[in-house]
Every structure is written in C-alpha cells, then in structure tokens.
Structure 1
Amino acid sequence: MKLLRPLLLALLLSLPAAAQESVLNVYNWADYIDPQAIEDFQRETGIRVRYDAFDSLEALEGKLSAGRSGYDVIVPTNEPSFARLVRAGALRPLDRAKIPNWTNQDAALLAQVASSDPGNRHGAIYLWGTIGMGLRPDRIKALAPDAPLDSLDLILKPANARRIARCGIAIMDSGIDVMPSVLRWLGKDPNSNDAADQRAAEQALLAIRPHVRAIISSAAITDALAQGEYCAVIGYSGDVVQAQNRAREAGREAGLIYVQPKEGAQLWFDMLAIPADAPNPEAAQRFIDYMLRPEVMAGVTNQVHYPNAIPASRQHLRADVAADPNIYPPPEVIARSFTVSAPSAAAERARSRSWSRFKAGR
C-alpha cells in the first residue's frame, strides 16, 4: 500500500488541471451577486468559483490591460470599458450554442448594447441601471428649504452645494461615470470629445470641490449612505437602493431616496464577458448560461436591487422589488435617459487629467 501511494500521487499530478479540479475565476463589482447563485452553480457543476471584486471601471481596465489577468468571467460596463475591450480584441466571442439561455434576454436591451458590441458577439447583459442622486430630503431642507431635489443643480451649482455642504456631499470616484452627467447638466453632448466641453465640465466640478466632503468608491458610498454620513451623493441607482435597505434593516432613520435628475440619467449596462486569454473558457460559458436563467437572475436582482435583462425573471422577483420604480424605471424616465459611447483617446486622457485635478482640488 505504501508503494501505491507515490504512484497514485504521480498519476494525479500528471492529469490535466481541469481533470483534477475545474476552477472558474470571476472578477465582478463588489456586492454585486447573489451568494446563493455561486453556491448553487458550484453544487450543480462541480466547478469551484474563485470570486474577486473591483470597485471601479478604472480598476478593472487596469487589471485587464496588463494581460494574463487569470480571470475567466469579467463584468465591464458597456461604455466605455466593454466597448474598448471589444475593439482591442481582448474578449473571446461567445459560443451561443453553449449558452442556450442567451435567448432569455430582452431583445430591445440587447439592441441598445449592440452599439458597443456589433452583433452582441462578446457579452451577455448582467444587470443595468442609471446614475443619479441619493438624497436625504429632510436634512437638505433643514439647510436649504428651497433647494431643488429633482435636478443636478442641487449638487453642481456652487451656491446650492455651499448651503448643504454641512450635511455631507459625496461623489463616486469614477470620472468615466460622472463626467458625462456633468456634460449633460451643462447642456452639452455627454459624448463630446471637444476640449472646450471637457474643460467646462472640469471647471464645473472644481467650482463645487470645496463643498464636497468625499470622493469615494461605489461600495463605500453604499455603506456611508446607510449609516447616514451624507445627505447628497452622485452614484449608481442600485447602490442607493441597497443603502435604503441596509438602513431600514439596521433600524436607522428613514428618508433616503434615489432621484433620477430631470436633466436625464445616464443609462448603463454591465456585461458578462470572457477575456481572450481566459484559462477556463468552457467553464465561463457554462457560468454565463447559468446566470441567464430567469430564477437565477431574479435572485441576483432581489439581492442587489439592480434590474436585469431577463423578462421572464419578473415572475420570480419579490413584489417590492418588481414594483420599485428606482429599480425598474417607468417608460417616461427611460425616455429621458441617455447612453454614452467611448471617448476618443485624446478625450479620454483629458478626462482622466480633469478627474485627477478635481480630486486634488486644483
């Protein structure tokens, strides 16, 4: 028996890694999945999931740009990150024959994403949402009774920002996501590559910088809002809704609301995609197919409070989630929203410099 043990060990070591243990490496946003979905996928397939989280598109792109990231599934936002990865040849085309649940997706939403990925060859829609404001109206009105709660004027007009600064203003740390909304508020094209427009957006942000308490990650905004640290933030819709629920569960004060500004909210899509050099692309396609099941995506939406692109999932949603207009906006709100496209390389560099100056306050 003692002689057999070295032979068995040698045999195991000679087997391909996939035969010993199949591992799927996922890189997704923080707090952005239903843990039960991962447990059930592992139990059903025998594939072990290693799950890492990022908190900004800049972090995701930095990891992918270095090459050989080691990830099998990533979740970039359609613009500009996903579109940029598609153009760079950094993503593996999906084999739809191995993703039969592909057809569960809403065709109209897929058409929206096709501008980022012609033919929808490289990604399936995971979740989507808008960028707007998380507000505590009672605190704001105590400092500025006439402040507008339906407009980005509340935060981006220096006179208003100065009045409410005492109760806390925060902006998520992502120029990729915030700058288009500032351009829209200025009455300019959110997709403008014009240097003068970029400077105008930068100046608008610098004008309110003295009144902004924090420029922090999406995940940090959720926790801070739930704890009542800020009265006005610019961030993702789902982060604010998650904060509402965390505050309620903790028995903290109510009153936190999400507002899609009247100027129009940016509409975005997060995509399930496979890096071109993924170590385990077959497991990645199984995972994407699994995630596109209606009951699985309903579980994710129930957990993280972002809408998904699977119409059949609606019957599996909790009633309060399905009826929440901040999760599933009504048609008139969607009609006011806008999508963005990837800026030119020069505009992207200018935006990055502008954002750095905004964060530094100079």
Structure 2
Amino acid sequence: MKDFIASRRSTLKLLAAGTGVLAAPAIIRPAFAQSKVVNITTYDKFVPQSFIDAFQKETGIEVRIRLTDDQGKQYNVLSAEGATPSSDIVTVTGHRLSQFIGSNLLSPLDTGRLKNWGNLAPAYKGAPQLTVDGSVYGVPLLAGFEGLARNTDYTKASDSWAIMFDKEYKGLTSYIISDFLQITMRYQGNDGDFVTYEGKPEEAQAATNKARDYLIQNKDMVRKYYDAGSEVQQMFVNEDIYVAHSWSGPAAKLIMDGHPIEISVPKEGTYGFLYSFNVVKNGPNTDAAYTFLDAILSSPEIGAAMSRQSGFASAFGGVDKVLNDKERAAMALPQEQTERIQFFSSVNRDMKNEMVDKAVAEIKAA
C-alpha cells in the first residue's frame, strides 16, 4: 500500500481556501466489489474536499463518503450489517463509544500503523479520551465544548463561571438549563457528569438539588433560557445579553462574523464532546482505512481546514499556528484551557438524565 506523503507546500496549496465541501455521498457497493477504496461514514463538512482530492491522487484510493446526522442511525446501520459491514471508518462521539464497543462493532486502533500518530495536540496525545481497558478506539478529530461567552465591549474579563452570577449583569445572562445545571454542579465542586455517582443515588441527588436551588436563587440573573444556538446568537447580536453559557459552535460563528464575543473555558472547567474516526470491525478495506487515517493526521493545515468547515476545535497539533487571528479566537483554545475540558462519559447516563430532567422542570416552575 503506497504511503501518503504530502509536503507542507503542497498541503498549503490544496487547503489554502479551507472551505471545500464534502464529496456527494456515494453508493457504497458490497465488500466483494471493493478495490483501492475506503468507505467513510461521517458528518457533513467534516472531511475537506481538497484533502479528499489530494489523497485520491496521491494513493489511488477512492474515498466514498456516506453522510450521517445521528449517532443512533449510524449505530443501527452497523448493527444490522453485522459481520459484513459496508463502512471502513465511522465517526463516533466519545460518550457513545462504549455502546459501539459493547456491540463489537469497532476494532481497537493499531497506532503502530500510524506514522503520524504523534501529531495530535498535547491534550490528545495517546488519545486518553478514547482509551478503554488499555486499548485506543479511534483517532481524535474535532471537539466541541460548553464555554463562557461574553461581549467584550460590556463585560470585564473573567476566568470563572462566577461571572454568570455577578449582580452587575443581572438580567443580562442566558443559558440552556439542562447543560448549565451540570456546569453549576461542577462550579460547586460536584460531578456534573455523574460518573462518580454510579451506585450512589443519594449523593447524586444531593449534588443535583444544590445546583438546582442555586439556579432558582439566581433566577433573576437570567434574561431568557434558550434551547437553540441561534437563540443565543440573536440575543448577543441584539445586545439583550452580555454573558452566556454557550456551546462552542454558536459562539465561534459570532466571532467569525465580527461580533465582539469571546469564548473561554473557566478555571473550574467544563464539559465537552469529542468526535473520532473509528475503524469498523471486519471492514472491507482496513489497509486503506489506515492509509486514510495516517494521511489526515499528516498536517496541521488539514486540521485547520476541518475546523473552518465544521466550526469545532481540532485535535491535531499545530492548528493554532495555521489559523488566522479571528479563526484562532473562534476555534482554538490555549492549551491550559483545553486541558480543563472533561469529555462526557457514557457511564451512569440513565441516572444523570433522570435527575437533570427533573431538576430542569423544577427550575422552570420556580
């Protein structure tokens, strides 16, 4: 199998625009018909077309993209295909990883086959976020996180979630209740992801109630609870709010559009999700899959192009040096802030969902 070797100059030339679109979803033919092909199930705008073109030209391996928009659908397709999957690589979020592994749908990653494995950013070196029972189960790609967003024209700098409760901004804050409840638990020194509360329902309920009561006590701080990213964007644009809890994507869009918004990870930390490329067990083209994965890790320009298209932060090293100042402010974090992100776990999610949902209803009703 020919190795993918791209020079920095050729990569820069191919990815300069960084705004290519994914190839149109191809019909994936049965495994016996595959030859020099890699079949990838992923999300829209995750793989730059310029990279696909360069990879195909360099290796002779055809890249066939099947788009997905839901982890459950992707899981159901793989489960139905059983021992004869049509995908070689799938895109799994970290908190769903155990479901795919538990159903024997993924193969552990042989990192020894990836010469560029060391090109991950420091926070992802060795991919601890994707390591289960000593085996790595994917290549980290893109990360989204819950951040502190603020209008820099009207607020003071802050490295703490405490600003969300600062009376100076009374009536000028906003958040998604279910998400910010978990952040408030973390702010109070408790486990907002409920991992440590497995088998400890009373401890979990006490921590949930403490955060619930604090949000009710500070309900006058909130201009509006929101559900969709477009809502918090509009409130910032209209200057209805100055400070908010926001997922990184909506805030990044505001920054890229020139609005005076900053997003950061406060010192108390936050939660996030990680997308990874994962090798499918019994995939028809495993060698081509590894060639593709090694290639996508080969250059920070590729990671930068993926960030520009998706709006998520890259897990690849050196991307911050490729992005311009505005892109860096929108999609890259300082290393110390990246290390404050705790990625959501699949552990104890039933208890978490039940208690959070109940608390949300109580906050709304208060």
The interval holding the TM-score normalised by the smaller chain is 0.5 to 0.7
- CA–CA separation in structure 1 for the residues paired with 2:362 and 2:131: 28
Query: Aligned residue for 2:140?
Result: 125
Please name the residue that 1:3 is paired with: none
Question: For 1:52, which of 67, 71, 74 is the aligned residue?
Answer: 67
Unaligned stretches of 5+ residues in structure 1: 1-12, 142-146, 249-253
CA contact (8 A) 1:133 1:258 kept: yes
In the superposition, relative to structure 1, how do residues 103 and 187 fare at CA in structure 2: closer, same or farther (>3 Å)? closer
Tell me by how many angstroms 1:237 deviates. 3.2
TM superposition shift of 1:76: 3.1
Whether the aligned pair in 2 keeps the contact of 1:151 and 1:261 (CA below 8 Å) is yes
Number of residue pairs matched by the alignment: 320
Does the Cα contact within 8 Å between 2:249 and 2:311 map onto a contact in 1? Answer: yes
| Residue deviations 1:123-145 (CA, integer Å, cap 9, x gap) | 1111346421222244x66xxxx
Distance 2:30 2:311 in 1: 46
Alignment correspondent of 1:240? 251
Q: Which residue of 2 aligns with 1:292?
A: 297
CA contact (8 A) 1:68 1:277 kept: no
CA contact (8 A) 1:183 1:197 kept: yes
- Asked if structure 2 preserves the Cα contact closer than 8 Å seen for 1:110 and 1:120, the reply is no
Q: Is the 8 Å Cα contact of residues 72 and 274 (structure 1) preserved in structure 2?
A: yes
Residue 185 (structure 1) aligns with? 187
Matched, 1:152 2:161: yes
Q: Does 1:198 align with 2:208?
A: yes
Higher helix fraction: Structure 1 or Structure 2?
Answer: 1
Q: Counterpart of 1:290 in 2: which secondary structure?
A: helix
- Residue 350 (structure 2) pairs with residue 343 (structure 1): no
Taking a change above 3 Å as real, the CA distance of residues 116 and 15 of structure 1, as seen in their structure-2 partners, is: closer
**Aligned 1:132-151 pairs, distance under 5 A:** 132-138=147-153, 150-151=159-160
Q: Are residues 1:311 and 2:317 paired?
A: yes
For the Cα contact (< 8 Å) 2:142–2:312, is it kept in 1? yes
- The structure 1 residue matched to 2:226, chosen from 214, 222, 226, is 214
1:251 maps to: none
Secondary structure of residue in 2 paired with 1:184: helix
The equivalent residue for 2:125 is 110
Q: Is the 8 A contact 2:42 2:66 kept in 1?
A: yes
Q: Tell me the TM-score normalised to structure 1 length.
A: 0.66
TM-score (norm 2): 0.66
Do structure 1's residue 18 and structure 2's residue 34 form an aligned pair?
Answer: yes
CA distance in 2, matches of 1:15, 1:113: 32
Structure 2 unaligned residues grouped into runs of 5+: 1-28, 198-203
Match of 2:263 in 1: 258
Write the letter of the residue equivalent to 1:164.
Answer: L
